[in-house]
Amino acid sequence: DQQVKQNSPSLSVQEGRISILNCDYTNSMFDYFLWYKKYPAEGPTFLISISSIKDKNEDGRFTVFLNKSAKHLSLHIVPSQPGDSAVYFCAASEGGNNRKLIWGLGTSLAVNP
Amino acid sequence: DTGVSQNPRHKITKRGQNVTFRCDPISEHNRLYWYRQTLGQGPEFLTYFQNEAQLEKSRLLSDRFSAERPKGSFSTLEIQRTEQGDSAMYLCASTSRVTGNTIYFGEGSWLTVV
C-alpha cells in the first residue's frame, strides 16, 4: 500500500510559468516531508523540506505547502526554467532515530522553452 | 567534493556472481542508509546504520544481501549469487543531527545482471 502518493506521473509547463507538483500521504505519523529532484541514472538531489509544525517553507524559486488536515503537500516552482525538467519525488518520514524515507513514485516535470 | 560518494557507478555482472558496492558518506554524518530504486518506482529502503551499528533491515534485504559499516565511516553492500531481479540502482545516503532530518544521497550504483 502506497503511503506517499504522487498521482500525476507527468506534468508539462511553459518556461516562466508556475509548476505545481502534488503529493498526498496516508500515514498521520509522518512529521517531516522532503522534495527531491532526480535526473536519469543519478541519485536524488535534495530540494526543500518542511516539518509538520509548519505549513509553508520557501527557498528561492521553490515553496512547499503542507496541509496536515488534508494530508497533502505541494511543491511550487516559480518561475519554471527548462533546467527544472526532471523527476520530482516527494518523501516522508516519521519521528524517531531511524528517519528512513517513504517515497512517492515521482512526477516527471517538463518545462518547455 | 564532500558529498556522498559511491562506487562503482555502473556494474554489469553475470547471474550467480557476487558484487560489492561501496559508499563513503559525508564525513561528519553518523547515519547511513541504503536504498534500491528500479525504473518507475521511488527508492525503497534497504537498511540503516547509526555509526557502525546496523539498526534496521528491510524485508527486501534477502539472505543474499549483506551490508557492513565496520568503522562507522564507509559502508559496503554485497549481493551474493546475483539474480536478474537484483538489477536496479543502489543508492546510499547519509545524514546527522547537524543536518537535521535532511538526507543527502550519492550518485547511485547501477547494477545490471545479465
* CATH topology (fold) of A4-112: Immunoglobulin-like (2.60.40)
H-helix or E-strand spanning residue A27: none
Mean predicted confidence (pLDDT) in A1-26: 95
- In this prediction, residue B41 carries a pLDDT of 86
- In this prediction, residue B75 carries a pLDDT of 97
8 Å CB contact between A83 and B85: no
Q: Do A103 and B91 touch (CB under 8 A)?
A: no
Strand A19-25 with A45-51, pairing? unpaired
Q: For testing the chain A interface, which of B39, B45, B105, B111 should be mutated: the one with the most A CBs within 10 Å? A: B105
- CA closest to A34 among chain B residues: B102
> Which set of grid coordinates corresponds to residue A31?
512529521
pLDDT band (50, 70, 90) for residue B102: confident
> Which residues on A lie below 8 Å from B103 (Cβ)?
34, 46, 99, 101
Domain boundaries, chain A: 4-112
| Cα separation, B24 vs B4, whole angstroms | 6
Give residue-wise pLDDT tens across range A72-85. Answer: 999 999 999 999 99
A89: left (phi over 0), alpha (psi -120 to 50) or beta: beta
- In this prediction, residue A98 carries a pLDDT of 63
CA distance A102 to chain B (A): 7
| Cα separation, B103 vs B94, whole angstroms | 6
